Amino acid sequence: MEYTRKLVDKLSVEQLKVELLNTAYGNDRTFLAKLDPRTLFIWYSFFGIVPWFIHNEKVLAGMFLFMAAATFTARVSPVIIFILCLGLLGQGGYLFIAALFFGGDWAVMYPLLVLTLKLSVISLASIAAFCSMDPEKLSNGLLKIGVPGQAAFSIAYGYRMLPTLIEEYQHVFQSFRLRGKAPEKHGFLYWRTIAYFIKLAVLSFYPLLLSMAKRARTTVEALETKGSLNGFNDPAVKKLKLSGLKMGRADYGFLLFSAVYAAALFILF
Amino acid sequence: MAKLSERYKLTQSQKMMVFILSMSLYGLSNMITELIPEVYIGPIEFSVEYFAFIPLTLCILFHPLYAAIGASVGEIIFGELMLGQFGGFGELEKFIAFSLAMYVAGTFVRDPKNKIQVGIAAMLGVIIHQFISMTVDVLKVWVGVEELEVVPGLAESVVIIEGFYFLNDIFFSGILFALLPTVYLVPRLYGKIEPLLGMKPRERTDRYSLKEVIGPRLVAGGLVLASLAFMFEFLSETDFNPVDWEADLGGGLETTLIWVSIGMAFLIAVSVIAVMVKRRRDNMPPGPGGVAS
């Protein structure tokens, strides 16, 4: 009970906003955060795909160590890692129970653990790479590798708008609660209360849909006035915007080190 | 009557508006569903998978293509990137599956005031999406675990589990969070929300065609991806992995390895808890700041 209360404390709306902004902007001084986004994309495209096709558990373990070190230096928020572990253990556990049920034995455990190891390498790689980039860097990097300007814009827009949206949603939700009547009895396993809250959560989107529609219109009108809709995919604008991106010595060094490390794993095992 | 068969066209700015609207709202809903805890009763999981009614409503009311893509982008940005759970290439599959499902659901509805049509479309969207993700999940385990045939029961159990999740999602999430809210919202918003974006409501005669989405580029890309996946799979079956661990590992070593893996998971768990405890302690004296060091 104590534990759940602590968890609920952590999940307050304010805390959530702080945590989000922290994830987005909090760690720009780590080593990975100083690298060029393209370096991280290349790095990730190796460690995000290759583990799928490796079945040698020693190589996977070596990669896992590397990923763990990278994630550690990237100073990823512990909440994120906690969620990741829960997800991995949960999935593996379910598969294991079901496999036992269908006539497997303890030998099932081993391949499942290898699979979990593999999945954790991949997830850690993505966490290390993408948590190290602040939104601006990420959208610039995406623009550079040819993703349409609209998508790059939406990332920046999303980060800007989210705190406002969360607040507005909370206001609508609370005003529904204020005017509505909560069920008097909790019912079996609190189902009445749960159903009531879920219904409110869904209903709160009705006013939000309308107000967000107005806001979308204002945004697009503002974009039009600034000529952004044309500028998104204009080569000259792009060039000017992305002139700050440079591959430095650290980038090449990091890529070289990763390549040597991966090659060493394959040769040794 | 030539005017009636004209397709529903939007200007560049209107497309962008629909995109932004759909992205922000579905992104927000994704954040909320991440926070709602899951309830397990035995092996049955009652979780709010997603608030599918938002993209469904928007796809039915506006141009389905932009609403669908906007929703998928919103999910990736708000639900994954901002929470630090971006899955990289795995997101590609989600993106395609979800956009496709929502788009089909949106094109299915001719008359947004017809509740039966809206209801069928909502369920259709959820079923398509869940079916694609189920198939992908099963394939992931089948590709990821090479010794699938060696382990009795694993292949079947994956299919059973994923199939079970599929039905669970359709009957629980699908009805509660797609069917009912969509049928409630669409007729209410129809004619009200469109003027806010400066466009006229969709009419019964508007038509979309699948050709807009399934162009030659998409088909070609899909073929290339599929053949690449097949090639990698083939490689991994033959030469990629010359060491056959089944043959040269005795029982003793195998158990040690299991313990190593368990130890690793345990180590991660312990270190995470330790860091969390430490951070809590660090945060205590200065008050609520959250930014340690």
ipTM of the complex: 0.74
Residue A105 and residue A118: Cα distance in Å, rounded? 22
Instruction: Give per-residue pLDDT as tens, A47-58.
Output: 887 887 777 888
Contacts of B260 (CB under 8 A, 6+ apart): A61
One-letter amino acid of B232: F
Q: Where are the alpha helices (DSSP H) in A74-190?
A: 78-101, 109-131, 135-144, 149-179
Higher-confidence residue: A17 or A205? A205
> Is some CB atom of chain A closer than 8 A to the CB atom of B26?
no
Spell out the domain ranges in chain A. 16-134+246-269, 149-232
Residue A75 and residue A79: Cα distance in Å, rounded? 11
Residue B263 and residue B258: Cα distance in Å, rounded? 8
Q: How far is B190 from chain A (nearest CA, A)?
A: 11
Instruction: Give per-residue pLDDT as tens, A134-163.
Output: 888 888 888 888 778 877 888 888 888 888
Closest partner CB to B16 (pick from A48, A209, A229)? A229
When scoring B28, B136, B262 by the number of chain A Cβ atoms within 10 A, the one with the most, hence best to mutate, is: B28
Instruction: Give per-residue pLDDT as tens, A37-85.
Output: 888 888 888 888 788 777 788 888 888 999 889 888 887 777 777 777 8
Of the pLDDT bands very low, low, confident and very high (cuts 50, 70, 90), residue B40 is low
Residue B23 and residue A220: Cα distance in Å, rounded? 14
Cβ distance of A55 and B151 shorter than 8 Å: no
Q: Are B57 and B182 in contact (CB under 8 A)?
A: yes
Q: Are B262 and A92 in contact (CB under 8 A)?
A: no
When scoring B12, B21, B33 by the number of chain A Cβ atoms within 10 A, the one with the most, hence best to mutate, is: B21
Residue B290 and residue A239: Cα distance in Å, rounded? 38
**A217, pLDDT greater than 80:** yes
pLDDT at A242: 82
pTM for the model: 0.71
**B239, pLDDT greater than 60:** no
Q: Are B38 and B47 in contact (CB under 8 A)?
A: yes
